[in-house]
Amino acid sequence: MDRDTTWRIFTDIKAARESLLKRGSLRDVDVPEALIERSVGIFGERLGPEEAVRRIISSVRAGGDQALRDWNQKIDRIATDSLRVSPGEIHAALDTIAPDLRAALELAAERIRAFHQKQPLHSWIDANADGSLGQLIRPVDSVGVYVPGGTAPLPSSLLMSVIPAQVAGVPEIIVCTPPGSGAGDIHPAILAAAAIAGIDEIYRIGGAQAIAAMAYGSETIPRVASIVGAGNLFVTLAKQQVYGDVGIDGLLGPTETVVIADDSADPRLAAADLLAQAEHDILASAILLTPSLDLARSVQAAIYAQLEALERRDTIVGAMLNRSGTVITRDLAQAFELANEYAAEHLCLLVADPWSWIGLVRNAGGVFLGEDSYEVLGDYVAGPSHVMPTGGTARFASPLNLLNFVKITSLIGLDKATARELSQPAQIIARAESLGAHAAAAARRGQS
């Protein structure tokens, strides 16, 4: 490993903006040739991910359960006789995981629930002399939660997605997660997390086919009103394609963290935080912004020292080569300017008096204030959902919260006098828009 090029340090802001800090698009993703080649074995021809997802969705809409079983076999090479996990299997998983893991998941569930119960969310009606105006807040009828499985099963993602929906009052919540190898078993930690959250409707299905099943339903899997949860490229593309027929929380890509640090930061802790995010995916982003070249070099040295002992070393190195590195800024203010442009999922402030800098933060999924509020706590047990906007969508999107699971209905109940008073301005606007029937309807109320 070439230590001079693996973890890059940029001293030229323009060069950093054009490379490390440059945002791409989900529509412009570079598809590995190996992925295209694999499509030949599955579909009989070379297909890009978007077309592959389109065909999977179409087949599930037409073929239901049998199509889902076929895709489990073709893509994951797993035979699944029963798509649904029985409630007994879910609850039995609690006794198969280590007691300390169970306790940790229970603590996480308590903190996630307590945090979201504090979010203000209520209907209101303003009754006055003109009548009444207001809003009704109602939960969506049903939610489908996608939980990644594969080589890194994520029970925390189940808790972070299911519990806010429960607090919002969603009456029906289902979970889809990829089955494991062999007999198609789901990782017991995911089942245990479901039992802790009180979820008993889980389906052995992953990928684009799971999104299609939740969006359109099958003989076994009910159609839902909204789908939440992160996944791989195929899951994200499937959510993009079904949006409009069903609601989604967002298009969630690889994880990303920006650390802003000054000379007060411990380089070993900064390195640990960056490595923790880089191990997710070779497409993960772990970026340090600092005005201190000395700190940057110390963090770089700490990264290499800590890397040797980590299990997912190859993944981390891939992330370091692709989308990670350090940018030397003029000062902390410029670091915040770059962070706002990048709009990261996670923004970690390893600076003296981090609370004094909050006013400069405009775009971030979550802000982690100081070395004691490290991002890994946000992943598991702090309380806010770790499902956060990625890919620069923090410019306009929010972390998963209760608003993802409710609808707002406007209430309009004006009295006769107010209706008559407002008739004339309504007619004026309607005629300006060449909508005569609108104007006539308003005019009739004005005459009554």
CA pseudo-torsion sign 378, 381, 384, 388? positive
Fold of 8-24+253-396: Rossmann fold (3.40.50)
Q: For the CA atoms of 425, 428, 433, 435, what is the dihedral angle to 10 degrees? A: 100
- Whole-number pLDDT of residue 183: 47
Rounded distance, CA 234 to CA 240, Å?
Answer: 10
Evaluate whether 256 touches 346 at the Cβ level (below 8 Å): yes
Evaluate whether 212 touches 71 at the Cβ level (below 8 Å): no
| SS3 of residue 109 by DSSP | helix
What average pLDDT score do residues 213-234 get? 95
Q: Please say if 346 is a catalytic residue.
A: yes
Fold of 31-120+138-250: Rossmann fold (3.40.50)
Rounded distance, CA 436 to CA 75, Å?
Answer: 57
- Whole-number pLDDT of residue 144: 98
The DSSP code for 26 is G
Which position has the token pair 């490229």? 233
**pLDDT above 90: residue 181:** no
* Number of Cα atoms under 13 Å in the Cβ half of residue 321: 10
Phi–psi pair at 347, nearest 5 degrees? -125, 115
What tens digit of pLDDT does each residue of 95-121 get? Answer: 999 999 999 999 999 999 999 999 998
- Whole-number pLDDT of residue 429: 97
Rounded distance, CA 296 to CA 182, Å?
Answer: 46
Chain centroid to CA 398: how far?
A: 9
* Token pair belonging to 355: 């609370």
Residues 6+ apart with CB under 8 A from 374: 269, 272, 273, 348, 368
Nearest C-alpha neighbor of 85 from the set 200, 170, 1, 234: 200
Evaluate whether 257 touches 345 at the Cβ level (below 8 Å): yes
Q: 36 falls in which pLDDT band (50, 70, 90)? A: confident
- Whole-number pLDDT of residue 205: 94
- Whole-number pLDDT of residue 237: 93
- Whole-number pLDDT of residue 48: 85
Which position has the token pair 């570079």? 30
Q: 31 falls in which pLDDT band (50, 70, 90)? A: low
Phi–psi pair at 412, nearest 5 degrees? -130, 110
**pLDDT above 50: residue 184:** yes
Nearest C-alpha neighbor of 272 from the set 309, 318, 323, 327: 309
**pLDDT above 70: residue 3:** no
Rounded distance, CA 210 to CA 205, Å?
Answer: 5
- Whole-number pLDDT of residue 76: 80
Exactly one of 346, 371, 375, 386 is catalytic; name it. 346
Chain centroid to CA 179: how far?
A: 21
Domain borders along the chain are: 8-24+253-396, 31-120+138-250, 415-447
What average pLDDT score do residues 76-98 get? 91
* Token pair belonging to 163: 């519990």
Predicted TM-score of the model (pTM): 0.92
The DSSP code for 44 is S
**pLDDT above 50: residue 182:** no
* Token pair belonging to 394: 């923090």
Rounded distance, CA 171 to CA 388, Å?
Answer: 24
Burial 286-319 (b: 16+ CB within 10 A, else e): bbbbbbbeebbebbbebbeeebeeeebeebbbbb
The DSSP code for 315 is H
| SS3 of residue 262 by DSSP | coil
What average pLDDT score do residues 31-41 get? 74
Evaluate whether 208 touches 57 at the Cβ level (below 8 Å): yes
- Whole-number pLDDT of residue 81: 80
**pLDDT above 50: residue 406:** yes
Q: 30 falls in which pLDDT band (50, 70, 90)? A: low
Q: Which helix (H) or strand (E) holds 441?
A: helix 436-447
Contacts for 73-78 with beta carbons within 8 Å, 24 or more apart?
74/42, 75/42, 75/207, 75/209, 76/178, 76/179, 76/206, 76/207, 77/181, 78/179, 78/180, 78/181, 78/182, 78/184
The DSSP code for 45 is S
Residues 6+ apart with CB under 8 A from 52: 39, 42, 43, 208, 234
Q: Do domains 8-24+253-396 and 31-120+138-250 have the same CATH topology?
A: yes
Rounded distance, CA 151 to CA 281, Å?
Answer: 11
What average pLDDT score do residues 10-22 get? 95
Compute the mean pLDDT over every residue in the chain, rounded to the nearest whole number: 92
- Whole-number pLDDT of residue 221: 97
Exactly one of 256, 345, 371, 375 is catalytic; name it. 345
**pLDDT above 90: residue 179:** no
Q: 37 falls in which pLDDT band (50, 70, 90)? A: confident
Evaluate whether 240 touches 26 at the Cβ level (below 8 Å): yes
